[in-house]
């Protein structure tokens, strides 16, 4: 210990005595992705390090439209504008260097991130929070090239607006189809909340329209709650084709707006294809993924592939936590504490994680599911969980919905300041 300390002091003295070629630099953390994971960790690093860290946030969008709550826009409960957030406060109030660009490569040996503009950014620690990309051939007939004919609307922004426009333009009595994704995917209740919100929209504007839900999974999140709500509020409107009826082998033809179910072609008016998912591409390019996702240490969100890279949110394979904005936000705080400990010597506290997902079924009818988590040597493991019950009274459902509005304000403030 004494020797180490002496050595350290000697080195320090030598460094200080040498002519300073470069200005004194603070340790730099580069964060790629400005969503629920990335914006949160950038803010917490800058806020809690009080100037001791140089925090750089790479995010191509100048206005970030949340994917969470975008279903409420489809249902007519939110404006599109209310989903948009900018990074001005992170830059102005927290001193974060916000760079609107794409990260296109990571040199892990040199610890450099390359941006689309050609800029090379050195880092001491790198945080990747890129969200999801799609497995290109997972729904035969669909590709990113056809996402205008058959939108996924599973990343916030223009795709959300496109799906809304198509929904609004549906002919009276037309058919809205959704190809639901296989596990694991972002926001487990998301597709089913979307079915609820589309049904609400159609019940109001196009009451003879039909919804066809093509689902490769046997069961899904909050199934009992959604089915209860659909039978009560949208009787006869929604048909779900599960894997037993061919829901696991769907083909689509974007040119003719057809879906092929069990060999039969069905003409539809809107087709929302939510393909199978994988970690956002920069995680793949950085080489920190194993198959489709990035494995991380359960106590810190540190990549299992690189001790200078952390991965957050949807892109990770961490154990029991769902891929959700709430989870990414929760993980960001654990990782921020760990990074500050490594770079500034601040105290590292034990990791705690949590998640809650709220969904809206119809006006003032909100439900939720959630759990708390802690790290075990193998994974982030669920400790305790809860879910809304069928048959709850209207006052409780309304309170749950209002709580979700409070959560949206809370988490977006936590992300963007």
CA distance 84 to 156: 9
- Which parts of 9-48 interact with another protein (CB under 8 A)? 44
Residue 377 in contact with residue 351, Cβ under 8 Å?
no
Q: Does 224 bind another protein (CB under 8 A)?
A: no
Which residue of 323, 333, 338, 397 would you call a contact of another protein, by CB under 8 A?
Answer: 333
For the beta carbon of residue 88, count every other beta carbon within 10 angstroms: 12
Query: Which residues fall within 8 angstroms of residue 35, CB to CB, at 6 or more apart?
Result: 64, 66, 129, 131, 313, 325, 328, 415
CA distance 123 to 117: 17
CA distance 312 to 141: 31
CA distance 212 to 174: 11
Q: Does 356 bind another protein (CB under 8 A)?
A: yes
CA distance 207 to 195: 14
Q: How far is the CB of 329 from another protein (least distance, A)?
A: 5
**The two structure tokens encoding residue 4:** 């180490």
Q: For another protein, how many residues bind (rule: CB under 8 A)?
A: 31
Which residue of 137, 262, 290, 402 would you call a contact of another protein, by CB under 8 A?
Answer: 402
For the beta carbon of residue 182, count every other beta carbon within 10 angstroms: 17
The residue (of 91 and 405) whose beta carbon lies closer to another protein is 405
Which residue of 175, 331, 337, 359 would you call a contact of another protein, by CB under 8 A?
Answer: 337
- What angle do the packed helices 190-205 and 223-233 form, to 10 degrees? 0
Task: Return the range that interacts with another protein (CB under 8 A); candidates 126-134, 207-215, 283-291, 408-416.
Answer: 408-416
Q: How far is the CB of 352 from another protein (least distance, A)?
A: 6
Q: Does 374 bind another protein (CB under 8 A)?
A: yes
DSSP characters over 363-383: TTEEEEEEEEEEE-SSSEEEE
Task: Return the range that interacts with another protein (CB under 8 A); candidates 27-35, 87-95, 126-134, 347-355.
Answer: 347-355
Which residue of 372, 379, 381, 392 would you call a contact of another protein, by CB under 8 A?
Answer: 372
The residue (of 238 and 411) whose beta carbon lies closer to another protein is 411
The residue (of 329 and 359) whose beta carbon lies closer to another protein is 329
Residue 180 in contact with residue 274, Cβ under 8 Å?
yes
Q: Does 50 bind another protein (CB under 8 A)?
A: no
Q: How far is the CB of 398 from another protein (least distance, A)?
A: 10
Which residue of 166, 175, 330, 331 would you call a contact of another protein, by CB under 8 A?
Answer: 330
Q: How far is the CB of 226 from another protein (least distance, A)?
A: 18
Pure H helices in 150-263: 158-168, 190-205, 223-233
Task: Return the range that interacts with another protein (CB under 8 A); candidates 73-81, 199-207, 298-306, 397-405.
Answer: 397-405
Strands 264-267 and 120-122: unpaired
Q: How far is the CB of 48 from another protein (least distance, A)?
A: 8
Q: How far is the CB of 312 from another protein (least distance, A)?
A: 14
Residue 76 in contact with residue 94, Cβ under 8 Å?
no
Give the Å distances, CA to CA, from 372 to 235, 305, 328.
35, 26, 14
- Which parts of 290-329 interact with another protein (CB under 8 A)? 326, 329
The residue (of 305 and 399) whose beta carbon lies closer to another protein is 399
Which residue of 354, 364, 379, 392 would you call a contact of another protein, by CB under 8 A?
Answer: 354
Task: Return the range that interacts with another protein (CB under 8 A); candidates 213-221, 268-276, 316-324, 348-356.
Answer: 348-356
Residue 99 in contact with residue 57, Cβ under 8 Å?
yes
Which residue of 370, 379, 381, 392 would you call a contact of another protein, by CB under 8 A?
Answer: 370
Binding site for another protein (CB under 8 A): 44, 326, 329-330, 333, 337, 347, 349, 352, 354, 356, 368, 370-372, 374, 383-386, 402-407, 409-411, 413-414
């Amino acid at each position: 210990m004494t020797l180490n300390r002496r050595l350290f002091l000697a080195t320090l003295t030598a460094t200080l005595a040498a002519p300073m070629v470069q200005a004194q630099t603070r340790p730099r953390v580069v964060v790629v992705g400005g969503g629920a994971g990335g914006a949160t960790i950038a803010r917490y690093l800058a806020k809690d390090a009080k100037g001791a860290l140089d925090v750089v946030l790479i995010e191509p969008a100048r206005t970030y439209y949340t994917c969470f709550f975008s279903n409420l826009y489809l249902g007519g409960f939110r404006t599109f504008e209310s989903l948009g957030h900018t990074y001005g406060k992170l830059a102005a109030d927290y001193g974060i260097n916000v760079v609107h660009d794409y990260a296109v490569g990571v040199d892990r040996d040199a610890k450099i991130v390359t941006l689309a503009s050609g800029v090379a950014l050195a880092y001491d620690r790198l945080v990747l929070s890129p969200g999801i990309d799609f497995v290109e051939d997972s729904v035969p007939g669909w590709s990113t090239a056809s996402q205008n004919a058959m939108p996924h609307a599973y990343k916030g922004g223009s795709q959300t607006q496109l799906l809304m426009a198509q929904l609004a333009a549906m002919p009276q009595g037309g058919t809205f189809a959704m190809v639901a994704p296989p596990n694991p995917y972002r926001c487990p209740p998301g597709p089913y909340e979307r079915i609820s919100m589309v049904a609400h929209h159609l019940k109001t504007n196009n009451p003879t329209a039909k919804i066809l839900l093509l689902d490769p999974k046997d069961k899904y999140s909050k199934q009992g709650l959604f089915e209860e709500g659909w039978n009560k509020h949208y009787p006869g409107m929604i048909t779900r084709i599960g894997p037993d009826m061919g829901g696991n082998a769907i083909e689509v033809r974007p040119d003719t707006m057809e879906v092929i179910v069990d060999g039969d072609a069905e003409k539809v008016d809107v087709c929302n294809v939510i393909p199978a998912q994988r970690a956002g591409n920069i995680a793949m390019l950085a080489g920190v993924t194993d198959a489709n996702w990035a494995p991380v240490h359960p106590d810190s969100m540190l990549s299992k592939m690189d001790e200078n890279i952390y991965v957050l949110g949807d892109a990770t394979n961490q154990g029991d936590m769902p891929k959700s904005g709430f989870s990414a936000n929760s993980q960001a705080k654990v990782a921020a504490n760990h990074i500050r400990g490594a770079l500034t010597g601040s105290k590292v506290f034990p990791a705690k994680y949590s998640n809650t997902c709220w969904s809206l079924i119809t006006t003032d009818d909100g439900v939720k599911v959630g759990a708390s988590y802690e790290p075990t040597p193998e994974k982030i493991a669920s400790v305790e969980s809860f879910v809304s019950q069928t048959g709850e009274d209207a006052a409780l459902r309304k309170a749950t919905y209002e709580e979700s509005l409070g959560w949206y304000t809370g988490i977006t403030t936590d992300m963007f300041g």
